[in-house]
Structure 1
Amino acid sequence: MKKLFIALGVIVVLLVLAMFIGPSLIPVETYKTEILAQVKQATGREARIDGDFKLSILPSVKFVAGKVSFANAPGGKAAQMVTLDRLTVKVALFPLIGGNIEIDAFVLQKPVINLEVDASGKPNWQFGATATKSDSGAGKKSAASSDSGGSGLEGLKLGDVRLVDGLVSYRDARGGDAQRISGINLTLSLPSLDSPMKADGSLVWNKEKIALVLGLSNPNAFLAGKKTNIDARIEAAPVKFTFKGSAAQAGKIKAGGDLDLDVPSIRKLASWVGAKLDAPGSGYGPLKIAGKVDVNGNRFAFRDAKLSVDAITGAGEVAFDGGGRKPVITGKLTLGMLDVNPYLPPEAKAAAPQAASKPVGGTATDGKPPEASDWSDDPIDLSGFRAADAQFDLSVAGILVRKIKIGAANLKVSLKDGVLVTDLTRMALYGGTGKARLMANGAARISQIALNFDLANFQARPFMGDAMDFDQIEGAANADMSITTHGRSQRDLVSGLGGAGKVKFLN
């Protein structure tokens, strides 16, 4: 037994001597060559270190490399997939021997990452090397042990972790899509997995600087599927988003807390993200939303919400379910005064008054559709209605359309398989009541629109004055109308107008 302990002692001494004396006897270039060879063996691509290269063991394991590059996939547009001016890695030695990872420094200076997808759909981050069956089995075993025994990062500690002035580009050869994110700066602090983590950074996208902040009170608890406090903030000139609550990673993300969204201009935000909003009118300005959000995988619920869009204010709840064949959105909102005029195009110029050829009667007569010379030929595409299903219940204090004033009203909005149906189930209108139904069919090859309304016991003079600038009628009236049209443009819709209606005066 004594001889065994002596033998073990000799082995340990030799290992220690090899660890500390070896680097001074073996040329650094040998390590460099071996590292690059291992990268090629693992990925099938060339890596280069054309700048300085340093490797030391004491007092910590330190690796420094300058002018590093990693080749792109064959046929890629960029010559290199990754380049960086300098890489610095510093790891505490003795904790590493004990199985713990304490990263004193991990700094990437001016990294450039070129992500590409070729014409066949293969991304350049998919490498040629494939795992063997034994590798795959080992991976499954490792994953199983990880699931049963924690994250495997229990001893991880991060000191000076930074990404300095990075750039990421993305290009898809199939559709020509391209994105570029520059000025990427990130600082990460993590004293231990049981200590608060903070990530603080910024980047530039579409000429706007975006500030990013993420705080996690206990990363270890989060990875173990336990709730932990989270604080996130994204801020740029077109949008500001904050979330403060709790989250857990338990196979799927679960989170809940307070959310706040502030958009100074919906139009500017849409333009920034590449979806320019050409809707008519002067609306789509400021948007503010605040409330409590619950996330469970691909299901989202937003409750106790308060919102404002331009001058419109409201409160309610919204839910989103992305787990089915297509997203389903449901909600219930209560709005104040709904002035839709900022969202309407300018009114067409009224035609010069003509002498009446027939006396005004109690019922409407058929006539020719309006002239279509001033209407747009721009395509109207309602196929976007097929992207999701939705069901909304809306209550509004009042509605203003042009000069028409509608009192308190209830609306039910349904979007199902590309067909939008809006039912105005109750409304107060100039002393009377009314109902209306609007259908817009985006499932058909050509857009179809139908409108029906029924008004009862309303005061004709103020209504006709606001609706048609006509005030030569007195008394109460009933009215109903049915209008249909179809077409691919505004001109088509006007030309295709058809329907009937009647007005009955009660006194």
Structure 2
Amino acid sequence: MRWIIRFILTLIVLVALLVGVLFIVPGERIAAIAAREFETATGRAMKIEGEVRASIYPKLGVRTGPIEIANADWSDAGPMLKAEGMRVGVDLMSLLSGNIKIDQVEAIAPDILLEVAKDGRANWEFELASETPAATDQAVPESAGGIPAFTLDHGLATGGSLRFLDHSGGTDIVLTEMDLDLRVPDFNGTSQIELSARMNGQVNQVSAEVSNFSTLLAGDIVGFEVTAKSGGSNIGLSGRGGYEPLTFDGQLDADLKDMAALFTTIGQTVPDVSEGLGQQASLSGKVTYTAEGTAHLRDGIIQLDQNTLNGEADLDLSGDRPKLNAQFTAEALDFSSLAASADGNSGSGSAGSGTGWSKDMIDASGFGLLDAQIAFRAASIDLGTLKLGTSRVLATLDRSRLVFEMREINAYRGLVTGSFVMNNRNGLSVGGDLSARGMAMQPMLIDLADYERLIGLADVDLQFLGVGNTVDAIMHSLSGQGAFSIGSGELLGLDLVGMLRNFDASYQGEGSKTIFDSINATFQIANGVLTNDDLVFLGPLVRATGAGQVGIGEQTLNYRVTPVALSNEDGTGGITVPVLITGTWADPKFRPDLQALIDQNLAEERAAIEARIEAERDEAEERLRQQAEERLGVTREEGESAEDALKRRLQEEATQGLRNLLGGN
């Protein structure tokens, strides 16, 4: 920046000094002298075309024809500066006394090119002559960096343009309709500058005031106040700073109520954000930028619509990649509009929309722009469909891997902890390890689905991983596992026993409820499909089991629930009506599993027949034993079975028969 200021002021002062000799030297000689002295001072060729004319009235001065200043020798983008002409007016009495008092300098339709080569060289970097041009012969204030002292009532540039072209970074910025007014009433005092220009079709205005102009030229620390306006947005920065090296320390106040103007200026489309995330924003705080390349925010207040964040941040720009460290706190945060946005975009591929997941590419390239660690705490968060209490989250971004560590999220009398990860180091992947304890189901389901019948405290564990560059690909690739359990509770207004007794799934008893002791299930996820085979619902009058699959990727259902009511104490008997849940998330189908019911009845009938046959067989065997005992005259002793008694009797008869055969007694 220092070189740019010297460059422009060298041109202005040189032309002004030549006004004094214009009346005794022909105009073309003046042009030649100015061009030669400028090239001596800067190393750049200057060409002045047309006639150089002096004027006495209404102001002593000179008007040139078209001016052109050569670019750096490595550039092929054309001249560094072109203008239709220049007008310079000076104060005659101050000129005669040896001082330069410039009343007005006006560059007519200047076209300025600031260019950076691929190797980092800038076209405004050049060596000024060690001494000022011979025509000046002025004492040079050291603080001004070789520029003789002068005053300037008005330095004007009207109808101009400026292009900043950076071949190393690919930046190409163009300002058009540029008007500038520089005022230096005291070379060692306060000066002002006002700039208006159009960028990407949006008019922007900048006003600045510095406490000491000569100190500014030297690049040293100087007091300043800068305000910028783009549409309805205003940014103000006041404090102290310099540019060799670039440093500043001051107060920032930014009112960004006109986001459309700001994003138009930088050539971007205004992001479609919900209320509470920054449709309008403001930022204030103490800001510092050091010579080491670090930026700091203290006592920061960020206003995003109705939400206020307080905190501080440190940004280190000195390394290969910027590093951000920040801490923010908030009281009540209102993001309830997020729920309304989700409802209004039901056809965009969100869950349950019936159109599947979004297949739009997810651009996660921004994860690689910097490394960051941001700690956040809020007293409460309203997400519209969910209400959260005190929440503490630590977000860490390290080499394109973003981790949200949920240290504490209080919600619905319970506590949620765990982590959520987005990794873009080798393609995008998302994963998480979440745990919820003691979540009150009734208030949570009322907020989520306007469902108030389930009362109980739930524990949930979930681990998952998905890979892909679209939501659809991630959901189809999901893998993981989890568990779900609810302790004792109630199902209000739902009479499962009555439903089973009347074979009517819509049956609802007056003021009825189903009390349960527990609900438990575990599940596995593979290739976007959740599988469960151990759902157990236990209650005093009803129990149920469940098994099946939930297609997360395809948003489908294929699940079977088997409730049993009015069973015996040992769990047998009762009324059973299996129910199949099929279809899609958007249009689920519920129907009795008649085939399973038939198979179950057949199995029960078969079991009854087999039991009856077994009983009849046992009864026949018993009759045969009794007949054998009577015929053999067998009397069973205490504790002796019929078989043992018969064996004993046969042994006795055989022994007696053998004795008789041998002549014994």
Judge conservation of contact 1:67–1:86 (CA < 8 Å) in 2.
Answer: yes
Mark the structure with the bigger radius of gyration. 2
1:386 aligns with 2:395: no
Question: How far did 1:488 drift?
Answer: 0.9
| Partner of residue 502, structure 1 | 483
Question: 1:305-331 CA deviation, whole Å, 9 max, x = no partner?
Answer: 222112221211122221222211111
| Partner of residue 329, structure 2 | 334
Q: Quick one: structure 1 residues 385 and 97, their matched pair in 2 at CA, closer, same or farther if it must change by over 3 Å? A: farther
Picking from 296, 302, 316, the partner of 2:290 is 296
| Partner of residue 5, structure 1 | none
Give the residue type in structure 2 aligned to 1:49: E
Question: 1:428-479 CA deviation, whole Å, 9 max, x = no partner?
Answer: 211122213111112x221011122211122122223334554442122222
Judge conservation of contact 1:305–1:315 (CA < 8 Å) in 2.
Answer: yes
Q: How does 1:355-504 map to 2 (within 5 A)?
A: 374-442=356-424, 444-504=425-485
Q: SS in structure 2 opposite 1:29?
A: helix
Q: How does 1:104-143 map to 2 (within 5 A)?
A: 104-114=103-113, 125=123
Give the residue type in structure 1 aligned to 2:329: T
C-alpha separation between the residues in 1 aligned to 2:115 and 2:223? Answer: 36
Picking from 179, 202, 209, the partner of 1:208 is 202
Picking from 343, 346, 350, the partner of 2:342 is 346
C-alpha separation between the residues in 2 aligned to 1:268 and 1:341? Answer: 26
Q: Quick one: structure 1 residues 380 and 231, their matched pair in 2 at CA, closer, same or farther if it must change by over 3 Å? A: same
1:270 aligns with 2:251: no
If each structure's strand is expressed as a fraction of its own residues, which one has the higher value?
1
| Partner of residue 645, structure 2 | none
Question: How far did 1:285 drift?
Answer: 0.4
Question: How far did 1:426 drift?
Answer: 1.2
Question: 1:131-179 CA deviation, whole Å, 9 max, x = no partner?
Answer: 7xxx99999xxxxxx9987744473322332222212235678998644
Judge conservation of contact 1:99–1:155 (CA < 8 Å) in 2.
Answer: no
C-alpha separation between the residues in 2 aligned to 1:293 and 1:231? Answer: 13
1:165 aligns with 2:159: yes
Gaps of 5+ in 2: 1-17, 133-139, 489-665
1:324 aligns with 2:319: yes
Q: SS in structure 1 opposite 2:362?
A: coil
C-alpha separation between the residues in 2 aligned to 1:122 and 1:427? Answer: 49
C-alpha separation between the residues in 2 aligned to 1:226 and 1:33? Answer: 35
Picking from 202, 227, 231, the partner of 2:225 is 231
Question: 1:78-130 CA deviation, whole Å, 9 max, x = no partner?
Answer: 77653323212345678679875433332212212345678x78989479xx9
Q: SS in structure 1 opposite 2:342?
A: coil
Q: How does 1:54-69 map to 2 (within 5 A)?
A: 54-55=53-54, 62-69=61-68
For structure 1, which segment, 189-198 or 24-33, has the greater mean C-alpha deviation from structure 2 after superposition?
24-33
Q: Quick one: structure 1 residues 21 and 239, their matched pair in 2 at CA, closer, same or farther if it must change by over 3 Å? A: closer
Q: Which has the higher contact order (CA 8 A, sep 6+)?
A: 1
C-alpha separation between the residues in 2 aligned to 1:32 and 1:273? Answer: 40
C-alpha separation between the residues in 2 aligned to 1:175 and 1:195? Answer: 37
| Partner of residue 313, structure 1 | 308
C-alpha separation between the residues in 2 aligned to 1:155 and 1:149? Answer: 10
Gaps of 5+ in 1: 1-18, 140-145, 351-368
1:155 aligns with 2:149: yes
Q: SS in structure 2 opposite 1:480?
A: strand
For structure 1, which segment, 170-179 or 182-191, has the greater mean C-alpha deviation from structure 2 after superposition?
170-179
Give the residue type in structure 2 aligned to 1:313: T
C-alpha separation between the residues in 1 aligned to 2:19 and 2:235? Answer: 51
Judge conservation of contact 2:166–2:172 (CA < 8 Å) in 1.
Answer: yes
Q: SS in structure 1 opposite 2:472?
A: helix
Give the residue type in structure 2 aligned to 1:375: W
Judge conservation of contact 2:175–2:199 (CA < 8 Å) in 1.
Answer: yes
Judge conservation of contact 1:431–1:457 (CA < 8 Å) in 2.
Answer: yes
C-alpha separation between the residues in 1 aligned to 2:353 and 2:269? Answer: 30
**Aligned alpha-carbon RMSD (Å):** 4.2
Q: SS in structure 2 opposite 1:494?
A: helix
Q: Identity of aligned pairs, percent? A: 20
Judge conservation of contact 2:224–2:241 (CA < 8 Å) in 1.
Answer: no
C-alpha separation between the residues in 2 aligned to 1:471 and 1:449? Answer: 32
Q: Quick one: structure 1 residues 235 and 294, their matched pair in 2 at CA, closer, same or farther if it must change by over 3 Å? A: same
TM-score by length of 2: 0.59
Q: Quick one: structure 1 residues 196 and 479, their matched pair in 2 at CA, closer, same or farther if it must change by over 3 Å? A: same
| Partner of residue 354, structure 1 | none
| Partner of residue 83, structure 1 | 82
| Partner of residue 47, structure 2 | 47
TM-score by length of 1: 0.76
Q: Quick one: structure 1 residues 97 and 123, their matched pair in 2 at CA, closer, same or farther if it must change by over 3 Å? A: farther
C-alpha separation between the residues in 2 aligned to 1:32 and 1:480? Answer: 83
C-alpha separation between the residues in 2 aligned to 1:247 and 1:456? Answer: 53
C-alpha separation between the residues in 2 aligned to 1:331 and 1:440? Answer: 20
Q: How does 1:251-290 map to 2 (within 5 A)?
A: 251-266=244-259, 269-278=262-271, 281=274, 283-290=277-284
Question: 1:34-87 CA deviation, whole Å, 9 max, x = no partner?
Answer: 54566678767672413x312589999843202334567899887765332321
